[in-house]
A and B are shown apart, each in its own frame.
Chain A
């Protein structure tokens, strides 16, 4: 067993700061009127951790302060666990701010210990979280190492024993306040002059148990791996929902694109973790004190990339009438499908390879309306109006070639009129024909009245070559052009 622990030291502030539209304003997390955490801008202004809220505000007038939002933190941690699900199937949440991942089976795929560590830090960084990674042979060891930011020197391709001895060696150096021991026990140890875990390990177990109770022994056995430490593993949720409540209302659509990008990026990583693509999603723009506007976006094939999701959503947003200022934004997936990446050419056309045929259709549909873009098909019907149909475009590399028309003795026009256009016989010069087509007496009420048309290829006086017919009444119509 090999555990990674991602401890997020500034998690409380990072969760709250997501509500801000821009990252550049100084922000602090406050508890009991004391500054608990600062972002970079607040640090740059000179705010120190532990100073009072009044001091902080006087130092930096533009300061935004948040109180801890435990519910939001829990939700976010749950999301991060789903996003890291891509590295391993065994992901466990350690509240308040750590994720534990069992990676024994994933090391080779992600390029060894250090490759995986880089990937994990990169993923969390992209999602807006700074992470300290601890690696250990037990979950608690990884957690303690991550909290202590103890970088234990692990061999590049370690055997199980090599890791264990290296981890135990590093654990010995860890100060007790980074462990899961309660504050009372830490203080008692400190009064006895015991500061690190190594010193505790050296003490006789029986004496420790008598003085500190079985809880401490249990912890020591779990952290060193003498006792199994089963974790509750995360089961990924079936549906993605994320909501952002802003600090101030957003009135312009351009300003909305920033938080939208944030949510779309979260969705992308969630989808990658689940190996899914989204087919249909919905944005909900909620203003303060009136009803929310919902915008649904549909994709022709499952999509993952946040750029695609956003570009199509923006096209749709342009057409949307958002009268009120938006205070809250929510992104929900409606329909998901298994993800299958497109086949890309190995050679050549590198600059075009990034474009997928489905994206174009989505963009057309988003801007022009759902039925403004269709494909066409032939249909087996002898009546000209029904021998074709508009259908959703076939997406995928294996488009099936339509069978060529079986009757090769007849000619059909390339352009067909929606409704036949009346014309006069004397304007026409008939070239070929007649071809009699029964136009479906069965589809009309008066079944005893035979209905047929005699079609000719003709040349109109204006020079165009057209497909004309004469009905039983002797009226002539243009039905298509040999354009």
Chain B
């Protein structure tokens, strides 16, 4: 520090002073697979050891597909498990394999009580045997203390912990270092993302992400073949349900 600079500069140069605009992006995170999202996160992806909350009121809007690329990366790089604690539905192996997730590394844990679910989550996180832990916990039993414990456990186990919580949890305080509210959009295969809390930056209002999908579109040939079988089963063409999607509907018209 030189004497020539003014008192304000001297103050700003003080090492204890934290300046939001000077945060260096670190790059030891797990890439989310969505460059737009990566650019907003301080780790340039999901934290390798940290607690993330995904808040949404609906199942099936693309919350798992948001994590898909990261899980595929973790499975390819690490030998550790990915633990699914009490998911609301069956983690469907063929679809997981299709998006590049190694189903052999998934652990599906089905505790019978909320206490056991919390125990299993904390235990999986801190054991160090999991690269990621996805947990669906009972919101009514979840206290800020539990979340704090989970966050500390992520450091110990070097684990990415993802909590799926309802949207109303946004009003509650949380120690999680990244909180993202998810909602559906008007278009299919797109997800609306609102970052409620992130490290090294302000919340981000709304962001639409096109969801990753490895599956290809239905080709015209397939569709025609399917329509043939449809007809041969004795149904009339007018009984066919209407296909709204643009590409598919066009080919459907050609096929007919």
Chain A residues close to B by CB (< 8 Å): 349, 351-352, 355-357, 359-361, 363-364, 367-369, 372-379, 387-390, 393-394, 397, 399-405, 408-418, 425, 429-436, 450, 452, 454, 456-457, 459-460, 462-466, 470, 480-483
Contacts and interface: CB of A to CB of B under 8 A. Distances in A.
B79 A357 contact: yes
Contacts of B99: 414
B222 interface: yes
Given A410-B215, A412-B92, 18 more contacts: A357-B129, A360-B127, A360-B129, A361-B107, A364-B124, A368-B112, A374-B108, A376-B91, A378-B93, A399-B105, A402-B93, A411-B98, A411-B215, A413-B92, A414-B95, A415-B89, A416-B95, A431-B245
A414 B88 CA distance: 12
A482 to B, nearest CB: 6
Contacts of A373: 107-110
Contact of A480 (B89, B104, B219): B89
Given A360-B129, A413-B92, A417-B89, A405 B61 contact: no
Interface of B: 58-65, 68, 79-81, 83, 87-100, 102-112, 116, 119-120, 123-124, 127-130, 157-158, 183-184, 188-189, 213-216, 218-219, 222, 226, 229-230, 233, 240-245, 248
A152 B14 CA distance: 69
B103 A402 contact: yes
Contacts of A432: 218, 243, 245, 248
Contacts of B106: 375-376
A376 B108 contact: yes
Contacts of A436: 226, 229-230, 233
Question: Chain A at the B interface: mostly helix, strand, loop or mixed?
Answer: mixed
Contact of B58 (A394, A463, A480): A463
B68 to A, nearest CB: 8
Nearest to A371: B110
A403 to B, nearest CB: 7
B116 A388 contact: no
B194 to A, nearest CB: 15
Q: Which of B104, B123, B188, B244 has the most CB of A within 10 A?
A: B104
A360 B124 contact: yes
Nearest to B211: A482
A399 B158 CA distance: 21
Which 6 pairs from chain A and chain B are nearest by CB?
Answer: A481-B60, A463-B184, A464-B60, A415-B89, A412-B95, A388-B93
A399 B104 contact: yes
A434 B222 CA distance: 10
Contacts of A379: 93
